[in-house]
Structure 1
């Protein structure tokens, strides 16, 4: 009798997708599931750098997060303050992840002011269209310097 290399379980393994069955979860896992950071490793790194606080205290990645906790975090240049509204250990689609937290009104206002400031006064380096000058560009610049220099021969 030949055995198939595939096994077909009768029931798929159950994964806790419900947010109501969990009471607490690791901070790094919650930040990943809520889609604040792309990977748990990045979440751990940001927590280690002190860019994430829970209820105003610096914490470790293994700290348990519960519904109602206040989390302050930084994503790039953006500071956010959110309140945990749900717990999930699974990274789902963005609309589901957004149900895991509520951003405070102060945080939303601060983010909008920062976006407006970036729009009105953009970073000077972001206006550069090209990188370093090419060899041909440097030759053109050298010719221009020779023609317009104030040399006494």
Structure 2
């Protein structure tokens, strides 16, 4: 099976086109080599995948015949991504949420006054 199809089948990407683009950009490696989207995947291959600023590592256990449900993905791959990489993503996400919640709009007059006071104190 092609690497782009494998990554799509194991739900690392929503579309096969996204998987192909990741391969073209050099975000997918097998061993230490950057691979093209047409590269064949074999059981026991070790894949490194960069997605959302995380370096995923996975080992191919078997080749699926079609796109899988999320519960069945672990039958075909073993995720060996370091825990620090996933914690780093959670930290980045919480930092974004702390600054301003999504959908709250522009700063209010009170928010602007607090920002002005903060900048005056630091100077």
TM value normalised by structure 1? 0.61
Q: For residue 67 of structure 1, give the secondary structure of its aligned residue in structure 2.
A: coil
- Among residues 28, 38, 45, which one is paired with 2:14 in the alignment? 38
CA-CA distance at 1:126 after TM superposition: 5.5
- Contact kept in structure 1, 2:24 and 2:36, CA below 8 Å: yes
- Contact kept in structure 1, 2:54 and 2:86, CA below 8 Å: no
Counterpart residue number, 2:42: 66
Structure with larger Rg: 1
CA distance in 1, matches of 2:2, 2:70: 20
- Among residues 49, 72, 84, which one is paired with 1:110 in the alignment? 84
More helix by proportion, 1 or 2? 2
- 4+ residue segments displaced more than 4 Å: none
TM value normalised by structure 2? 0.75
Unaligned runs of 5+ in 1: 1-24, 142-153
Aligned residues between the structures: 108
CA distance in 2, matches of 1:41, 1:126: 33
Matched, 1:29 2:2: no
User: RMSD value over aligned CA atoms?
Assistant: 2.3
Unaligned runs of 5+ in 2: 113-123
- Among residues 84, 95, 103, which one is paired with 1:122 in the alignment? 95
Matched, 1:49 2:49: no
